């Protein structure tokens, strides 16, 4: 509730009311304030690490055209939130930015900051990164700063669809900053809650096959992103080291995309139905990965 912008005092008042009195709550107001202070205690970025990171961003911006970065400072001039993306991220967003996934479930640095990748999906059904952020908290104001920064970095172009966690602060910020986008909860949260409403359909495999998210936010796809980010750092990693490792991983993803591009330019997919004019045309229009999805749907339509 605090992350959604509600004061600690009002949160405790609400909980006291729900518990039918403060005597039934199990803690006092001071405990609540102390707990929130402990959560924020380890999110201050060391000055040396912040200086190294900012200097790295300045050098990148001087060497690379269209490299974008931004940092939000707190009242003590310490780094609170930051976001960056290179030129290729902007190009990828131009092609694949109709759908955007925002994942805030991963923390992998010694400050316990929230690692927030902006993820899309390319025409090979591979994950593609549009940028990366670190956040010190999950308040609505922080998300509004982050989303406004991302939007500025992408020349104001809003995605058609946004998938995110089930977080009220995120939902409020998306409604404010991305008013033209359709917001959907990620598949994992829906899968946690929906089966209780399905009744007998829970045992219907055909019905479950219709449970569709464009392949973007299946649990396994989010897990792949997090597994990759784990390779970039751990609980002892500085932000500077994490960013360097993240860029190596991003380059590896881009190399895999180039490999698939080459495979599509120099080869045609095997076809289930030989000499079918629609499949022949589809094999010329689509990448190999997308062609196979199309072929399965077409063959199923003939049953």
CA distance 218 to 197: 20
Nearest CA to 121 out of 152, 147, 92, 146 is that of: 92
- What does DSSP assign to residue 159? P
Res 107: pLDDT: 65
> How many other C-beta atoms lie within 10 A of the C-beta of residue 157?
12
Among 55-69, 168-182, 265-279, name the one with the lowest average pLDDT: 265-279
Give the model's pLDDT for residue 220. Answer: 46
> Which of 37-41, 186-190, 293-297 is predicted with the least confidence, judged by mean pLDDT?
37-41
Q: Which pLDDT belongs to residue 70? A: 95
Q: Where are the alpha helices (DSSP H) in the chain?
A: 8-18, 29-41, 47-63, 87-96, 140-153, 168-177, 187-193, 205-209, 219-230, 239-265, 277-285, 288-301
Residues 227 and 229: their CA atoms lie apart, in Å, by: 5
The radius of gyration of the chain's CA atoms, rounded to the nearest angstrom, is 23
Residues 33 and 11 sit within 8 Å (Cβ to Cβ): no
217 with 101: CB under 8 angstroms? Answer: yes
pLDDT single digits (tens) 53-87: 889 999 999 999 899 999 988 777 777 889 999 99
Q: Mean pLDDT throughout 270-285?
A: 90
Please report the pLDDT score of residue 214 as a whole number. Answer: 52
Contact in structure between 125 and 219 (CB atoms under 8 Å): no
- pLDDT tens column, 90-144: 999 999 999 998 878 766 555 678 888 899 999 999 989 999 998 888 889 999 9
> What end-to-end distance do the CA atoms of the chain give, in Å?
51
Average pLDDT over the chain, rounded to an integer? 84
**Torsion of Cα atoms, 201 then 203 then 209 then 210, to 10°:** 0
Check residue 123 and report its DSSP letter: T
What predicted TM-score, i.e. pTM, was given to this entire model? Answer: 0.75
Backbone angles phi, psi at 160, to 5 degrees: -70, -40
Q: CA 22, CA 18: separation in Å to the nearest integer?
A: 9
Residue 215 pLDDT greater than 90, yes or no = no
């Amino acid at each position: 509730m605090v992350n959604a912008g509600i004061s600690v005092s009002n949160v405790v008042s609400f909980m006291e009311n729900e518990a039918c009195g403060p005597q039934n709550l199990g803690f006092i107001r001071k405990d609540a304030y102390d707990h929130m202070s402990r959560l924020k205690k380890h999110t201050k970025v060391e000055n040396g690490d912040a200086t190294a990171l900012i200097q790295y961003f300045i050098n990148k911006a001087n060497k690379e055209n269209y490299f974008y970065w931004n940092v939000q400072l707190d009242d003590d001039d310490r780094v609170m939130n930051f976001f960056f993306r290179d030129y290729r991220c902007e190009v990828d967003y131009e092609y694949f930015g109709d759908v955007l996934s925002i994942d805030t479930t991963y923390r992998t640095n010694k400050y316990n900051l929230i690692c927030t990748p902006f993820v899309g999906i390319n025409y090979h059904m591979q994950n593609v990164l549009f940028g990366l952020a670190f956040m010190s908290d999950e308040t609505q104001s922080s998300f509004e700063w982050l989303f406004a920064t991302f939007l500025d970095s992408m020349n104001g172009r809003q995605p058609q669809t946004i998938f995110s966690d089930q977080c009220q602060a995120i939902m409020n910020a998306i409604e404010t900053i991305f008013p033209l986008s359709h917001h959907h909860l990620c598949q994992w949260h829906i899968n946690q809650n929906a089966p209780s409403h399905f009744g007998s359909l829970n045992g219907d495999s055909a019905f479950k096959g219709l449970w569709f998210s464009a392949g973007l936010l299946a649990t396994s796809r989010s897990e792949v992103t997090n597994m990759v980010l784990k390779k970039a750092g751990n609980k002892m990693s500085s932000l500077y080291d994490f960013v360097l490792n993240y860029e190596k991983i991003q380059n590896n993803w881009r190399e895999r995309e180039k490999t698939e591009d080459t495979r599509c330019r120099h080869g045609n997919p095997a076809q289930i139905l030989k000499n079918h004019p629609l499949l022949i045309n589809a094999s010329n229009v689509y990448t190999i990965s997308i062609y196979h999805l199309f072929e399965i749907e077409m063959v199923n339509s003939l049953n």
